[in-house]
Structure 1
Amino acid sequence: MSALALSVLLSFVSAVAYAGGAIVQERVAVSSPGEQYAPLRRPAWWAAVALNGLGGLLHVVALAYGPLSIVQPLGALTIVFALPMAALFVGRKAGATAWRGAIMATVGLAGLLSLVGASSAQSLDTGQRVAAALATAGAVTALMIAARAVHRHPAVRSMLLAVASGVAFGMSSVFTKTVAVDWTDGVSAGDVPSLAVIGVLATAGLLLSQASYRGAGLAAPLATLTVVNPVVAAAVGITMFGETFRYGTTGTALALSCGVVAAGGLILLTTERLAREQQEAAVAAGAPAEPVGPAEPVGDPVEKLLAQLEVPEDVRMPVPVPAPAAAGAEADPVYPLVSYAPFYGGPYVPVPTADRHRMRVKS
């Protein structure tokens, strides 16, 4: 097997591992609503951590055997694998809108990453690393505060936390690349702070991704995280590592178009989740799923008929009530009929059994 084929295979397995970890995280979030960040007592959560760690390890190995322009876009297949896996293993089916949004986000991301050109290995100096760490901490904190402010809207809250998770994971990749470049000249004690930042950002990304799945399903948070993570890393690579888009102005225009497609996919996923939340809220409140006509009156059939004819209350005549029969005597049945007085001059009266087929009008 060639090195390129091995890198592609490892990228596919990495995407499957990431998708499995995301599915397990989402199920843990559903079954542990009171522990949104780190349900440490749940073995399933640790299984999700292991799957995510395996996905990250395989991704790094794939980068060692294949070019970044191929391996990185293949990582976007995580959301494509996650939807059918969720339907197969946990019975969570995604709607047509979610599928369209996921595919748009994946295609846009893959196209964007494939247009990022490679550059010579560069590192960041101490000042740049401090600035990047502080900017990342500020952005993640702001997103967490915003998510807390909109806690009444789970879909919006989930998207904000997923963006924060993607930022943390993306910047973790940036610091990982920086340390990797430094290690080409040998390991030094000066890399310890960068390693600590990598650990903090990776842990924060994992916890924020766990929180983003609570009450928001699988597709929208996972697609957001899958898109934001490499986009942040690519943006830092372009601005701080001297990377550029391929094919000059044409490549830049294509990259912007791919970004618009990916953003449209995320919007579709968000609106799909918001619509589902509104439907679930309506069902929980007891509202009918579809508009229905006015309820039919219940009770006395005569009153029901009059209500349907919209006869005013003030012209309705009371229904006569027969007197109780004497002991041992057979009571004649009566037929309480009521007429509309202005048209017929008076109400109908009860008719004895012998004359049940005849009626007389009280003058």
Structure 2
Amino acid sequence: MRQAVRWLAHVLRRPYWLAGTGLLALSTVLQASALAVGSLSLVQPLLASELLFTLAVGSAVFHRRPNRRTWLAFAALVLGLALFLGAAAPTAGRTTVVPGRWPATGGAVLCIVAVLLSAALAVIGAPRAVLLGLASAVSFAATAALMKEVMGQLGHGDGAVLTHWPLYAGIAAGTVGFLLLQSALRAGSLTFSQPALTLGDALTSVALGWVLFEERIALGIRVLPEAVGVALIGAGSVGLASALAAGGTWDAAPGWRNGSGPGAQEPTPQRS
């Protein structure tokens, strides 16, 4: 806990970290707007495209041209998203959660995050980064579900939102997800944490959309192209994360991963 406080005090003095956090807040507003009109099963998987824009911006900022392997990863992620969403064809579902489904679903989410966090504390390096990335993904998916519930309640007036618990639970879940993501970035390479975050968020969101909002994706014979799409998203995420982490320039600095002090470079706030 003391180390986390020291880290937070350090990054709050860094303008780039603060700017990244501000952009993260803006992306949350845009995400809420998308969830107000679209399904959880559609919006959250699309957030995997963040890696594509990160690559484009990073190439310009760091003056590094993507190599052939990186372009292949780029193509795999684009094709995977198109294949999965095209085959799944998510339905709109409900604008608010089916009454009575939050307690059991929320309890299951809390248990999953707790198990992943406990497992992460028992290991180091790449396994910890993967497990923390997955825990962050589940937390962010739950945040998105709560965000969609809040947006659905806006039709009943602002008072309905401010006097009900989903708004405050969403803020808490988002904060937990953000802190877990920062821990994942410090635990190991982006190559391990980012794919876990990308796939974990998308698949958990599809499951939550199904259970909570009665969203549906096509099954039957379409499961095969959906599985291929998920595999391509995973492969593309690994390839792009590896490109972003190459040489340590775009990744969390080794000093932070090893738990050293404020002399190391802090990880940039990210959200997938």
TM-score by length of 1: 0.55
| SS of match in other structure, 1:245 | coil
Match of 2:141 among 170, 186, 193: 170
Of 164, 186, 211 in structure 1, the residue corresponding to residue 183 of structure 2 is 211
Q: Which residue of 1 aligns with 2:224?
A: 253
Distance, in Å, in 1 between the alignment partners of 2:177 and 2:194 is 12
Is the aligned partner of 1:184 residue 2:184?
Answer: no
1:150 is displaced (CA, Å) by 1.7
Q: 1:266 to 1:63 in 2, by over 3 A?
A: closer
- SS in structure 2 opposite 1:237? helix
Following superposition, the deviation at residue 266 of structure 1 comes to 5.1
User: Would the aligned equivalents of 2:40 and 2:205 in 1 still touch at CA under 8 Å?
Assistant: no
Q: CA deviation at 1:45?
A: 2.4
- Counterpart of 1:61 in structure 2 is 33
Cα distance in 2, alignment partners of residues 93 and 144 from structure 1: 37
- Alpha-carbon deviations, 1:60-102, whole Å to 9, x = none? 3355677888765543221012123223324678776566456
Opposite residue 56 of structure 2, the aligned amino acid is P
Shift of 1:202: 0.8
Contact 1:86 1:93 in 2 (8 A): no
Q: CA deviation at 1:159?
A: 1.9
Which structure has the larger Rg?
1
Q: Which structure has more helix as a fraction of its residues?
A: 2
Q: Distance in 2 between matches of 1:87 and 1:105?
A: 17
Please give the secondary structure, in 1, of the residue aligned with 2:217: coil
Amino acid at match of 1:142: V
Q: Which moved more, 1:193-202 or 1:58-67?
A: 58-67
Residues 101, 269 of structure 1: 8 Å contact kept: yes
Structure 1 residues 59 and 189 mapped into 2: Cα distance closer, same or farther (>3 Å)? closer
Answering whether residue 110 of structure 2 is matched by residue 134 of structure 1, we say: no
- Work out which of the residue numbers 175, 182, 205 in structure 2 matches 1:233: 205
Alpha-carbon separation, structure 1, partners of 2:51 and 2:156: 37
* TM-score (normalizing by structure 2): 0.70
CA distance in 1, matches of 2:216, 2:194: 27
1:63–1:142 CA distance, 2 compared to 1 (3 A): closer
Identity %: 27
Q: What whole-Å deviation, never above 9, does each CA across 1:204-238 have from its counterpart, x for those lacking one?
A: 11112222222644454334323322321111112
Q: Distance in 1 between matches of 2:118 and 2:167?
A: 26
RMSD: 3.9
Question: How far is the alpha carbon of 1:199 from its aligned partner?
Answer: 0.4
Task: Check whether the contact 1:76–1:226 (CA below 8 A) recurs between aligned residues.
Answer: yes
Alignment partner, residue 173 of structure 2: 201
1:35 corresponds to 2:13:
no
Structure 2 gap segments, 5+ residues each: 249-253, 255-272
C-alpha displacement of 1:271: 8.8
Pairs aligned (count): 243
CA 1:73–1:166: 2 relative to 1, 3 Å? closer
> Which blocks of at least 5 consecutive residues in structure 1 are unaligned?
1-31, 282-363
